[in-house]
Amino acid sequence: MTTENDTRTDAADPRFAALPARPGKIVAVHLSYSSRADQRGRRPAAPSYFFKASSSVAATGGTVERPAGTELLAFEGEIALVIGAPARQVSLADAWDHVAWVTAANDLGLYDLRANDKGSNVRSKGGDGFTPIGPDLIDARTVDPAGLRVRTWVNGRLVQDDDTAGLIFPLAQFVADLSQHFTLETGDVILTGTPAGSSVIVPGDVVEVEVDSPATGATSGRLVTTVTQGEGAAFDAALGSLPAVDDTQREEAWGSRVAAGLPAAAPALSPELRDKLERTPVAGLSQQLRKRGLNNVTIDGIRGNHPDRKIVGTAKTLRFVPNREDLFDSHGGGYNAQKRAFDAVQEGEVIVIEARGESGSGTLGDVLAIRAHAQRAAGIVTDGGVRDADAVAAVGIPVYSAGAHPAVLGRKHVPWDLDVTIACGGTTVQPGDIIVGDADGVIVIPPALAEEVADAALAQEEEDAWIAEQVAAGHPVNGLFPMNAEWRARFEAREQTR
């Protein structure tokens, strides 16, 4: 590192060799680049932040350990700002004057530990060695903050390449915004977020991050980190949550379902198909599926809290396992699979819960029903119980369940995972299956058959309506239901004149 006024106080500690001193605070931005926001499908209206421990800082050329029993260690190449003069309630116009240096950082994170700390990222981002910084500092006075670039290589392949023109918020805004709430002190570091391209790294991988100013040629140099494999038991369930991953975490860590080796997500229902299914009774769909050899497609043992309301949507699955006290300790509290499912449900999806037909406790209550309704979910289906049944009904979202029960989830269940194949009411349900429910019950339709089945069911409905008219007019059902050749000819002649 080359910089004037070298005032570092931790020169003996190689972790802080690239900084003027051990930082008192490291503040990181959650989502800041347009490319990353597009990848995640959400764009923040304002910056949000989390803290990282200064003990997570590492020097260039070092290693980072992927703990035993984990799989989703991900890199994030970032621009780091080092505060040179205390900032308290500074304006946007003056904020950059409080930044002394710019350098490269790698905001490493372990997605296996996100579940119970999502948002705070205390454990998932705070591990020893999870914040490599350096190797050299760029004088912030010599560069345009709107003209900086960050690039990342993994094993020599360029995987991230973006510049500050792609930021949703300018760099100075982070300084001004944070200074509204607390004093940014000399030596504090702000990690300004990562662009698209962040993904999973494995033992043996070498990650390099560089920040530069193409206009001036100033550069941080390449920040090099090698991934190693941890040995032995890394975490004790008696002390806290164990690592846990699901397909949602894998998709976010790798950057896409394809990169994570997951099957492509089922396409959302087209408006045309949704309209057809809205007009088709479940009984008619059941009949058509049976004609095609599918008999085990009804979710049995459940009733709707709004029988006059139809549900049509794609399945978002959630699985509970039988309660075991040690497993509930590790998987039941905090930001567990149940809460993650209700936070992640998308508009038009139906949350389908495997509760093994166990109705001796609730599987959701009014708060989660409100969350699903706010997310514009199409409905909720569970073969377990519902707490706060009157309050859930008042929310307005259709819920099919095995009935009301006052007990909390933990009496019978441990929330285990989501976005997996489940069994609900004796029927297999896969993520993306089409769920249709009405007063007769709930049915599961394989997406590949949905259009064909809907068209056939609507045609059958029209035929049945004509038969009903003939019976109402006094004709006997013999030969009419089902139609013999004579009645079939009459029906087809009528259709041709319409």
Annotated binding site: 365-368, 387-388
* 122 token code pair: 């205390």
Provide the total of helices (H) and of strands (E) in the chain, helices listed first.
13, 26
Contacts 24+ apart (CB under 8 A), 455-461: 455/276, 456/288, 456/291, 457/280, 457/281, 457/284, 457/285, 457/287, 457/288, 458/276, 458/279, 458/280, 458/284, 460/284, 460/287, 460/288, 461/280, 461/281, 461/284
Which residues lie closer than 8 Å to 64 by C-beta, 6 or more apart?
Answer: 58, 73, 108, 127, 129, 130, 132, 225, 226, 227, 228
The amino acid at 198: S
Q: Which of 351, 362, 352 is nearest to 323 (CA)?
A: 362
Helix 450-472 vs helix 271-279: crossing angle, to nearest 10:
30
Taking CA atoms, 239 is separated from 105, 330, 414, in Å, by 31, 9, 18
Number of CB atoms found within 10 A of residue 315's CB? 25
C-alpha span between 387 and 122 (Å, rounded): 32
Asked if the peptide bond before residue 271 counts as cis, ω within 30 degrees of 0, the response is no
Q: How far apart are CA 184 and CA 188, in angstroms?
A: 6
What is the β-pairing status of strands 303-304 and 427-429? Answer: unpaired
Name residues whose C-beta falls within 8 Å of residue 472's C-beta, 6 or more positions apart in sequence.
none
Tokens of 462: 């029209």
Neighbours of 181 (CB within 10 A): 10
Task: Find out whether the peptide bond into 23 is cis, omega within 30 degrees of 0.
Answer: no
Question: Kind of pairing, strands 77-83 and 189-191?
Answer: antiparallel
- CB-based contact 350:399 (threshold 8 Å): no
Binding region for Mg(2+): 388
Q: Which residues are annotated as a binding site for substrate?
A: 365-368, 387
Half-sphere exposure of 314 (CA within 13 A, CB side): 18
